[in-house]
Structure 1
Amino acid sequence: MDLKTSLALVLMGLFMEGLHAMKNNVCPTIRDYFHMENNSNCWYDFAADSTVPEIIQRTGYPLIQYKVQTADGFQLSVFRIPDFSQTKPPIFMLHGVQSTSGIFVGLGKRSIAFQLHDAGYDVWLGNYRGTEYSEGHASLNVTEKDFWDHSVDDIALYDVPAMLQTVRHYSGSPHKIIYIGHSLASTAAMMFASERPRVAKSMVSLFILVGPAYKMTHMTSPYRLLFPLLYPALDLSKSLNLVQLFSRGYSRRLTRPTCLASPVLMLGCSALLNMFTGPFTDIAPETIPVYFNQFPGGTSLKTMTFLRESTRGNFRKYDYGPGKNNHVYGSTAPPEYDIKKIEVPTFIIYARNDWTTTKQDAFYLYKQLPESIRAGIYGVEKMNFNHNDYFFGKNADKLVTKPILKIIENFLKRSQKQYSQNTISL
């Protein structure tokens, strides 16, 4: 046995000892959680305790971290799982509301970020302002209420282009970016591409919008009854200077120990969450602690007001009220984002039992897009599959990741064929 082999065995032994020293934190059934500590059915999953960079590295993948400063001073974290071959386009992924890039790495090797990297893509994971990984600013402190005075408009018109520009600059790829956005990230993509269509087209070759949040008039979640209270809650929190308390991702320090304190509380928290996303979930019991390690990730209350607007059939800029709207926009009502102006090919993925972004709303969105950019629509018809299962569900790799890989592959083949035909015709 040579020295390298011996050293490798020693390191492996130390690693295994370290794992054994870790306490069990996940179990395959809810019943197992009742006696988890000495239960041989349970095990330790570092994704339930680790940050996104730690998960990437501990899963065995390379990592480069970037700090991106927007034009209005916000400092965002972007995590890259690099592939320097440049044979395929870079893929940029962005999360939804009260989430982080952790949704793309929480299932270990089965996670979409790792499967895309295994398929040869240069993978970039964005975190927009207000989330736990993007709480920096050039002049504002995260404890100041002015830090939290931002809406979806700011995410769309500042954060998204800044992160995409970073991908283009540092990837060095000759290919345009493929953008995969979940929920509010799809909202931001459409707002950005509506407001700055030529800029979006110059950087992005394809939008894949997963559970897209456009006009969510068919939302079936009972929580929509609370959405009219978002504006009063925002005003009250501002007046009491508590806006940062209700916005920061550190609220998870309370929800995580509470929701994971017992199997009963775990079920209760999951049920409360599923009332918003859909009652029938594909998230396995062993994934629940991983999920609550990422959720909530933080966001501004002002961003959350988009939910009220969208369920009323609006897709427009932030509503300040008639007086201030007239000052800011030159009209008493906020202007609408015109998705007819989008020039980037767009593919939509929905789930049949997603209570938040429904199948009806997904088809409505698809029909509203210019026919020239409709790249396709695909639905997860599984009964127990909701808004958070696209990336956390136990069947997410089969029902979402593999179809996305196929969607990208087919799109690239068509694009190459069109390029070849145009070259020949020239």
Structure 2
Amino acid sequence: MATMQVQSSEGGFCKSMVETNGYECEDHNVTTKDGYILNVVRIPMGRCRDCRTRGNKSPVLLQHGVFVDGRSWLLLPPKQSLAFNLADNGYDVWLVNSRGTEYSEGHTSLNFDDPAYWNWSLDELVAYDLPATFQYVYDQTSQKLHFVGHSLGTLMVMAAMSRDQLVNMLASVGLLCPVAYMGHTTSLLSRVIADNFIAEVASFFLCTCFDKYEAKFSRNLSYLPELKLWDIHFIGQNCCMKSSIMDIFLDHEPQPAAMKIVIHMCQLIRRGNTTMFDYNDSGTNIKHYGQPTPPAYNMIGIPKDLPIFLSHGGADALSDVDDVKLLLDSLQGHDPDKIVVQFIEHFAHADYVMSGNAKEHVYDPFIAFLSRLH
């Protein structure tokens, strides 16, 4: 696996989102086995006087969901942001930008506009992106990682663990709005797209990705009160999000994504299970998997002694309460001393990264959970 480290650069992620808030920052590039060059941002220390020591700090890797990038962890002011709070509490913080997003557009041989560049789904994120970033951070720090995922980021790590990947490098897992199962989602937009095979139709007409131009168009639409696509129609009615934070969000998000991963998510919604990508052709599935149907990601394969912090909201349309219950049922044999389950009735999907009271309700309890592990 080829890797390359790049120090803080002019005008990039570090300059615009981290250094302007008084934190030290490093840009790192990680190359996956299938050639994607991922930007990973490191915040090695906090900005308070007592925080500014390098030492042997525990690394925490933050993984965003689909249609966003690593900046989703930095939308809130420093005193309210999870990434900055972790740094101020003595952790070595790493933020991933997944393939295809603004800071991770590179590839060793493919052009960003090449349809082959966008031939990936959840399976490639699980098989290539997560192992590459885990290995890189592990090699840089010589320590096991604490992982925090939001939305699709939770499914990525659970799917990887179900196939015995990454486990030896994990110290703990934080699952915010887990989407291991999506069959009960009440997201109107997701339901319409999935039930009417809209992504499949778009892909048939050679639309290989939700690209940066469509993302920009969606940002403009999202300013209209009647078309809050990133609010009630997609993710649920968020309780505590200021309009100023939404404005910051719309300066950067949504981000491009492969149409194939949208199709994969639609398959999971329609079927209510968690399997690898279905090519809807037994011969093609046999070619890829050696069997006529795609293999399942087995959630009961998660190690029973791995410390887990799981938090979900009652108003979340994507991470529906009934779907989270299915995940919790699969974790019933987990060591009760190693799992913390938190339910916040009034929180929806975006509240976990964009609400001003997320620190009080989620981040402080999560950091307390981490501190008990040391």
* TM-score (ref. length: structure 1): 0.77
Match of 1:243 in 2: 208
1:214 matched to which residue of 2? 180
Quick one: which amino acid aligns to residue 323 of structure 1?
G
For residues 110-147 of structure 1, what are the alpha-carbon distances to aligned partners after superposition, in whole Å with 9 as ceiling and x for unaligned?
Answer: 21100100000000000111222211100000101000
C-alpha RMSD of the superposition = 2.1
Partner of 2:77: 108
Residue identity opposite 1:243 in structure 2: T
Matched residue, 2:32: 70
Q: Any conservation in 2 of the 1:97–1:184 contact (CA below 8 Å)?
A: yes
Q: Does 1:326 align with 2:266?
A: no
Q: Contact (CA 8 Å) 1:342, 1:370: kept in 2 or not?
A: no
- CA deviations on 1:343-391 (whole Å, 9 max, x unpaired) are 24332110111111022222220220362356324334242x2101101
Q: Of 281, 285, 308, which aligns to 2:243?
A: 285
Alignment partner of 2:323: what SS?
Answer: helix
1:270 CA displacement: 2.7
What SS is found at the alignment partner of 1:209? strand
| Equivalent position amino acid for 2:93 in 1 | V
Letter in 2 for 1:329: Y
Matched, 1:85 2:54: yes
Letter in 1 for 2:193: L
Q: Which of 91, 105, 111 is the equivalent residue of 1:141? A: 111
AA aligned to 1:249 is: K
Structure with more of its chain in strand, by fraction: 2
Q: Where does residue 227 of structure 1 map in the other structure? A: 194
Greater CA radius of gyration, 1 or 2?
A: 1
In structure 1, what is the Cα distance between the partners aligned to 2:12 and 2:129?
25
The more displaced of 56-65 and 294-303 is 294-303
Maintained 8 Å contact 1:131/1:248 = no
| Residue deviations 1:170-220 (CA, integer Å, cap 9, x gap) | 22x4x310000001011110111111x2x4221111111110111122211
Within the alignment, does 1:381 sit opposite 2:355 as a pair?
A: no
| Partner SS for 2:327 | helix
Query: 2:296 — aligned with what?
Result: 336
What secondary structure is seen at the aligned counterpart in 2 of 1:293? helix
**Equivalent residue of 1:372, what SS?**
coil
Alpha carbons of structure 1 residues 409 and 292: separation in structure 2 relative to 1, 3 Å: same
Q: Does 1:55 align with 2:21?
A: no
Matches within 5 A, 1:150-229: 150-171=120-141, 173=142, 175-195=143-163, 197=164, 199-223=165-189, 224-228=191-195, 229=197
Rounded Cα–Cα distance in structure 2 between residues aligned with 1:231 and 1:255: 16
Partner residue in 1 for 2:5: none
1:302-313 correspondence to structure 2 within 5 Å? 302-311=260-269, 312-313=271-272
In 2, Cα distance between equivalents of 1:143 and 1:346: 39
Q: Which amino acid aligns with 2:208?
A: V
Give the residue type in structure 2 aligned to 1:372.
Answer: H
Deviation per residue, 1:145-188 (Å, 9 max, x gap): 000000100001100010011111122x4x31000000101111
Q: Which runs of 5+ in 2 are unaligned?
A: 1-10, 46-52
Distance (Å, rounded) in 2 between the aligned partners of 1:325 and 1:370: 32
CA–CA distance in structure 2, aligned partners of residues 360 and 86 of structure 1: 43
Counting matched residue pairs gives 349
Matched residue of 2:228: which SS? helix
Aligned-pair distance for 1:404? 1.1
Uncovered stretches (5+) of structure 1, i.e. residues with no partner: 1-48, 413-426
Q: Distance in 2 between matches of 1:50 and 1:268?
A: 33
In structure 1, C-alpha distance between the alignment counterparts of 2:298 and 2:251, rounded to whole Å? 37
Instruction: Check the 8 A contact 1:252/1:296 in 2, yes or no.
Output: yes
Aligned partner of 1:356 in structure 2 is 318
**Which secondary structure does the structure 1 equivalent of 2:160 belong to?**
helix
Are 1:392 and 2:322 counterparts?
A: no
In 2, Cα distance between the equivalents of 1:125 and 1:314? Answer: 29
What's the offset of the Cα at 1:61? 0.5
The answer as to whether partners of 2:222 and 2:229 remain within 8 angstroms in 1 is no
Partner amino acid, structure 1, of 2:203: D
Name the structure 2 match of 1:418.
none
> How far off its partner does 1:286 sit?
1.5
Superposed CA deviations along residues 220-264 of structure 1, whole A, max 9, x for unmatched, are: 1222132141452353242xxx424xx22343333334544xxxx
Paired residue secondary structure (1:277):
coil
Tell me, yes or no, if the aligned pair for 2:180 and 2:327 is still in contact at 8 Å.
yes
- C-alpha separation in 2, matches of 1:53 and 1:213: 32
Match of 2:89 in 1: 119
User: Bigger shift: 134-143 or 298-307?
Assistant: 298-307
| Other structure's SS at 1:366 match | helix
Distance 1:206 1:278 in 2: 28
Match of 2:7 in 1: none
Q: Is the 8 A contact 1:352 1:379 kept in 2?
A: no
Aligned equivalent of 2:309: 347
Point out the more displaced range, 68-77 or 311-320: 311-320
- The 2-side partners of 1:117 and 1:272 are apart by 29
Q: Distance in 1 between matches of 2:222 and 2:290?
A: 47
Secondary structure in 1 aligned to 2:28? Answer: strand
Question: Is the 2:264–2:278 Cα contact (8 Å) retained in structure 1?
Answer: no
